[in-house]
Amino acid sequence: MPQTDAVRARQVLERLRGLVHAIPWPRRTITLSFGTAVYQPQTEDSTDLEPIANLLITRANQALYQAKGGEKDCVVLWSEENAHDARP
């Protein structure tokens, strides 16, 4: 989500989880686990966005593994603190 900070990203994903949970699923309980990462651009960043995109994907994937491996049905925002708890 372009121009979205960590607080807003979490709000959007939690709202999505709430909307899905409000649907009466007939045969099973639905859970949603999300991993997300945020990048704050710096003025000295190069115009080559591929390394930045790869880093964001890696970090979001790590957060997703943590969400799926932990309590499940949650939103995990990647951070330096939780990076060591996630699978690569």
What pLDDT sits at residue 87? 47
Give CA–CA dist 69/85, Å, rounded: 10
What pLDDT sits at residue 88? 44
What pLDDT sits at residue 53? 86
Return the number of other C-beta atoms located less than 10 Å from residue 36's C-beta. Answer: 21
* Range list of β-strands (E), 1-88: 34-36, 75-77
Q: Which residue matches tokens 């709430």?
A: 18
pTM for this prediction: 0.77
Query: Per-residue pLDDT tens for 19-62?
Result: 999 999 898 888 899 999 988 777 665 677 888 889 999 999 99
